[in-house]
Each structure stands twice: as structure tokens, then as C-alpha cells.
Structure 1
Amino acid sequence: MEDQKKYPSRKAAHHSGRIWLERKTGLMISELPQLACSPGLQEFRHEDTVQQAHTGRPKMDRTLESLRHIIAQVLPHRDPALVFKDLNVVSMLQEFWESKQQQRAAFPSEGVVVYESLPSPGPPFVSYVTLPGGSCFGNFQCCLSRAEARRDAAKVALINSLFNELPSRRITKEFIMESVQEAVASTSGTLDDADDPSTSIGAYHYMLESNMGKTMLEFQELMTIFQLLHWNGSLKALRETKCSRQEVISYYSQYSLDEKMRSHMALDWIMKEKESPGILSQELRMALRELEEARKAGQELRFYKEKKEILSLALTQIYSDPDTSSPSDDQLSLTALCGYH
């Protein structure tokens, strides 16, 4: 019972206003501890939450004060008390990241905030926003217009961008120590394993230390890469070639998640489809469901969205190959569903 209180379950973590990574990176295989990567929106779900948060909630008061301090620094001409109510949150998000780029404090080579509105004949509408560095968020509310969905997605992204500036969102020695202790408590490992990179705990420790000083959003791209490599089966293949976890981490830490990496993963799934016909459709249905659930929960979406993109790319390549038989009506419907969602 004590462990349950000290190390909350995913459900409990949501209620405490924190989003935990729900997918294993594969470095810990079945043992990866859950790592807090972006704050939840439970404290910000209504337009009047900022005022509600001031009543009888000292911890949230301190958090809001910290956020206001950040807003005053990065957006000095904005009223911190009105930021989360301002309908012009789209321009505020853009302004925030332009300011960060000028300061060269984060992702200096990527300064564009990208929006994606999914095609739909009518409400509810869905919008995604991708931040410099790749973190992705979507509207979690039921939106009756594309503009409303875009604003809602921007609000989610702005909240997470501001939280990312808090000292507690940066990887420090204290953060690493707490994370490793939490990993040990949630697995069958020991603290001694932290110094052995051949163990899951040790690899996790090495990964955190290699990213000392980075924020959660900066660290998350690497985490997403390993999540996808685990899901894709690539990490298992690397283990079979006797590559150490440390070597794998060092190698992939040099790369970003780009079209080339997506294409390689799509080719892997094409091979899987040839070996097990129907697996692509099954995985895509699951990816769409996970993406929708994560969006409605206000979570960071890149892992789920990348899965959908990779599987969609694999399907497109399969059915554009003249040597491949034509897809069935069900498969065509699934591809259309992928584009809709």
C-alpha cells in the first residue's frame, strides 16, 4: 500500500495533474518506469480554472505563480492573469516560441509552430499543433468549428510550453535520482543496477544522464524515437546483433525523427504485412483509437500520431505497388478513416 501511495498509478497520476508516458521505450523493455513528461490539463479544463485554482490549493497556487512569472519574462506585454482566457491564444503560442528561438534557449533551428486541421464534413472538428522539437498536442474538447479546435489545441500546447519552463521540468541530478529510485520501485531491479548499463535500469540511468540539463519537451523527442523503435521491433533486432543498450542510445541520440526514419519503419511494417496479412489494418485501428483517447485526455500525442503516419505510409506504399493486389473495400475504408481521424 505504501508503494501505491508513493508511486501513483497512471489513473492517479492523471488526477494529480501530471501526464505520464504510457508507452515503454523498449530500453527497459517490459520494465520501463513511467516518466513524467508533460503536465496534465485537469487543472485547466474550464475557462474559469485559473480563478478556481486560487481557492484552497496552495500547490496549484505556487504553480500558477511560477507560470505567471514565466509569462512576464517571455511575453512581458501580456497580462499573465488573462493568458489562458485570451481567444488570441494562437498568436500567443507563436509569439512564445519565436521569443524562445530569439533567446536560442530551445530548438534554435526549428522555430515554426505547425497546425493541422483534419478534414471533416461537420463537427466535432479536430486540430493538432506541433511545436518546435516535435511535441504534438490536440484539442481535447468537443469543438463546433475549426477555429475553436485550433484555439483549443493552441491552449493545450501553450500550457505545456509554459510548464516546460519550470525548473521542475528540467533534467537535473535530483530528477535523475528520483526517477531511478522510482524505476527500481516499479521493477524487479536494484539501485546497484543503475551503474550497470547492460541492465534496463542502468540503460535508463545512462539515457537520463546523457540528457542532463534538457527540458522534458527536449528530452521527449528521444523518448519518442525509442518508443517507436520498441513498437516497431527494431530494438529487439538490435539486441539479437549483440548491440549493447548503451551503444543503441548513443547511436540514436544523434538522430531526429524525420522522413527517412519514418520510411525505414514503414518498410519494416510492409515486411510484417507480407508475413502476417492484416497486421497493418489491426495496428492502424489501434493507433487511431489510442490517438483519439490521448487527444481527449489532453496528452502529448507525438508517439500515437507518428504510429498513424508510419502505418499510413506503409499502406500507401503497399497499394501503390503494381505487383500488390488491390485493397479490399474494408481496407480502403480504413485508409479513409485514417485520413479522417
Structure 2
Amino acid sequence: MVGLPERRDPADDSLSVWTERYLDLAVRGVRSAKVTAKISRHLRRFGAWITGGLGHDRLSAVTVREVSAWRDHLAAAGNRGRDGTAAPMAAATVNNHLAHLSALFSWISAHAPEGLLRHGDPTKQVASLPLPAPQPRALAAAQVRTVKNVVDRIETFHELKGRRHRGTAARAHAHARPLRDRAIVYLLFGTGLRRAELVGLDLDQLQPADPGRLRQAKKARLTGVRGKGRTSRTVFLGRDARQALADYLQQERPGDAAASTGATALLLSAASIAARRPDGRLSARSINTIVGEIGRLHDAQMADPERRLGTLRPHDARHTFAYALSQTSGHNRAELERRLGHANDRYLRLYTNPPDDIAASYVEDL
């Protein structure tokens, strides 16, 4: 291969070979399967970019110019829209790609033969993209009130209302689990849990787990909640979450648990769903569907456009909880870190931004 010193193996100058070495020796078995898959995906995107642009994948040909061009390409057209057309990639996602590429070249710099990277690490001089200002996503107090009102009446929305069911006792759709869905909403708004943290909960993490004791307890908690970065924290449950969970555990969960093998999850899919997981555990995506449907029901009943939610997302509840906790705790940073599972200043500021109606009131009389 042109440019290689005599007797050097051509594989020493192959980006794809070094990428696989890095993944095998520094990533697989060290990082979680999910993170490993993401790192691999990002690095292979860069490899495809180099090969497609230069016609080869020589490691020694990777320059600052190539890395900068890849960054700009991702920002402009790194995603694919639903119609298959190129779409911009979010700045945070682009920076995540750059971070993974930088880790790769740092590792290569430490292990590559002398003289292979003659110009040094090509990622060191490529700046990350500036991130947009955090946007507040907390719901206003009036919106929280009407969401809870809809959730408290959720069973009526799942009743069978066809002509043949008139005059009979109210009966819900076979797949409907209104008490579970109510518990999910109250858990999200009352604890700030991420959706992955929520579906990862097991029944034995709830203390107490007996419905009767849960209704009476004032310090019920979820222990060992697994968050990002292998963190673990304890989450306390407020009155609404305790009552909603107790109703679900007493009335709906036993039937779904009996139909599952090793049903350890706190929240279970309906036993009538043929495609559910063998252990009955909900998927993170199903939380999006449940919360989104609550938002749709809310807006369908809301004449006031100021109270409408648009698309309600699980993370909106996390922002709402964080802002309320910040106000209640007197902006206690330690408490926010402990309950949210975040120590990063930028994220704490993001989560504690006030809703628009409160932010607008700050300047009303200025």
C-alpha cells in the first residue's frame, strides 16, 4: 500500500480494522450492550463516510478536515425523515458521535505503530457544536390539575359503549388497564422517573408492596432505582402515587402476574396481549403510547387552548416534577441531584426552568 513504511502490515493502516480492535478490546464486555451498539453504529457511520468520500479507509488519511466535514454533514443531513429524505441531526447527537470518535482515536494513538498518525489525533482540533438554550417543558399548574382530573376518571374512557353493551354493567376493553395507566402517570409526575427507569422497576423494589400498608404508609419508597451511568437512587412516593399503585396492585396486577412466568416487574402488560413479553414487563415505548393517549384524551376535553398539551411525553412529567421539587425544596441542589439522578449543571437548569406562564409573569409588571 502506497505510503506505508516497508514491512508494515496493510491492516495497520485500515480504519475498519482499528475500529474493530477498539470495539473488541475496549468496548465490548466493558460497556452495556445498548451503549456498545450505539458506539459501534456511530463509528461505522464515520467509516462509511471516509470510504465513500476518499475511496479507501486508510487511517493515515483521516485529517482534521475530514472529521470537521463529517460533523457538518451530520448536522445538516445526518438523519433520515419518514419519507427517506435527509434531515438534520440534533447538535447533542452530533456531539455524541464526535465524543465516540475522539475516544476511538485516543485509543488508537496509544496503541498504533509509531508514525501511523503523523499529524496526531485528527479529532482534537474539531470543536463540538454549540447546544441550543434549554427549553422549559414543565406543565403549568392548571395543566397538571386537568391532567390529573382526566387520569382520575380514566376508567370511564375504557368502558365498552357499543349498543350491545347498553344496560349492562360497565365493562372495559380486554387489553385496557386503566388503574395501571393511572399509576404510571402519577409515578411519572410524582417522582420524575425516566421511562426506562419506570419499566425497569421490580415489585420487590417497592416498600411496602402490600396494597393495604401502601395506602397507610407516609414514607413509601422505590429503592435501587437504576438510572443513567449505572447510578442507583431511592425515590419517595407521594400520596397520589401511593394510592394509585395500591389500587393497581390490588385489582389489576394479580391477574396479569398469574398469566406470566416469573413476573417480577412492578408494571405488567395485559395478559390478553398475545405479543407481550414472556415475563409481562412493559417496554419503554409502551410508556410513550400510554402517556400520549392520556394527553390526547385531555386535549379532546379541553376547550381552553392555553391548557392544551399537544403531544404529552413522559419527559414532560419529569420536567414538571423537577420544577415543583426545586420550588418546594428551596432550590436545594443536593436534593435535586439525589431525586433526579443528575449532577450535570446544564441538565439541572433544564429540568428546573419554569413553565411559560410563570416565566411570562416575571416580566409582566417590569
TM-score, length basis structure 2? 0.22
Give the number of the structure whose residues are more often helix, by fraction: 1
TM-score, length basis structure 1? 0.23
- Larger Rg computed on CA atoms: 2
